[in-house]
A and B are shown apart, each in its own frame.
Chain A
Amino acid sequence: GESVGLHLPTLSVQEGDNSIINCAYSNSASDYFIWYKQESGKGPQFIIDIRSNMDKRQGQRVTVLLNKTVKHLSLQIAATQPGDSAVYFCAENISGAGSYQLTFGKGTKLSVIP
C-alpha cells in the first residue's frame, strides 16, 4: 500500500480557528518529513520540515509534530486565515545513497470559512 497517507481528504475550519491536518506513514526508515501547501494553479510550496530526531518544530503560525511510535505526522496552523485555503501534502524521504526522492500523501483540502 501507500507509504504516506492522510486521514481526512477535506477539512473545513472557521477563520481564526486552529487547523490540524494529519498524516500517517508506514515506513519506519523514513527520516525526513515535509509539509507542502498547494494552491490552485500553482506548484507545491514548502511550509515546514522536520527530521526524525525531533518530535516538534515550529514556524510562523505553523507547527509540525512527529510521533515516531505510531508513525504519525501532523500540521497545526494557528489562527487560520482565508489565504490558508489550499491542499496540504505531507511527504517523506527515505534516506538513500546519493539520491533524493519524496513520497507524497494524497493531500488534504483545507477550506477556511470567513
Chain B
Amino acid sequence: KAGVTQTPRYLIKTRGQQVTLSCSPISGHRSVSWYQQTPGQGLQFLFEYFSETQRNKGNFPGRFSGRQFSNSRSEMNVSTLELGDSALYLCASSVGQGLNEKLFFGSGTQLSVL
C-alpha cells in the first residue's frame, strides 16, 4: 500500500505570495490532518478533514485554509505569506472512524518564504 504522498517536496516563495500544498492519503483513509513543524514551535496542528468537511481547526490565522476532495485528497493554502510561515508542512492520514487512531505522515513539504 502506498504511503501518504505530499507534493511538492520543496517550495520557495516570497512574502505576500500564496501557496497551495497537496496531499494524497493512504488508500482507504478518509481523514487527513495537516501539521506545521518549525524548530521553535515543534509540531502544531493546523486542521483535520473527514469526508470533505473540516472537523477541527488549530490556532492558526485565517490565512491558512484547506479543503478535501471526494477522493480524500487534500490541499492546504496559505495566502499572503509571511517570513514566519517558513516551515515543514506535514500531512497525515488515518481511517477516520475512531477516536484513537494511528496517524501516518507523509514526508512533508518544506516551505521557505523569502
Contacts and interface: CB of A to CB of B under 8 A. Distances in A.
Q: Is the interface of A mostly helix, strand, loop or mixed?
A: strand
A100 B96 contact: yes
B100 A95 contact: yes
B83 interface: no
Contact of A43 (B48, B50, B101, B108): B108
A107 B94 CA distance: 22
Contact of B90 (A44, A96, A107): A44
Given A95-B99, A99-B56, A101-B33, A42 B43 contact: no
Contacts of B16: none
A104 interface: yes
Interface string B41-63: 01111001010000110100000
Given A43-B107, A89-B43, A101 B102 contact: no
Contacts of A96: 56, 99
A46 B102 contact: yes
Interface in A2-16: none
User: Chain B: interface residue count, which band?
Assistant: 20 to 34
Contacts of B31: 100
A95 B74 CA distance: 23
Interface residues on A, range: 20 to 34
B104 interface: yes
A98 B96 CA distance: 9
Contact of B55 (A49, A98, A102): A98
Contacts of B4: 43
Interface of B: 4, 31, 33, 35, 42-45, 48, 50, 55-56, 58, 90, 92, 94, 96, 99-108
Please give me the 5 A-B residue pairs with the lowest Cβ-Cβ distance, nearest first: A43-B105, A99-B56, A104-B43, A32-B100, A99-B55
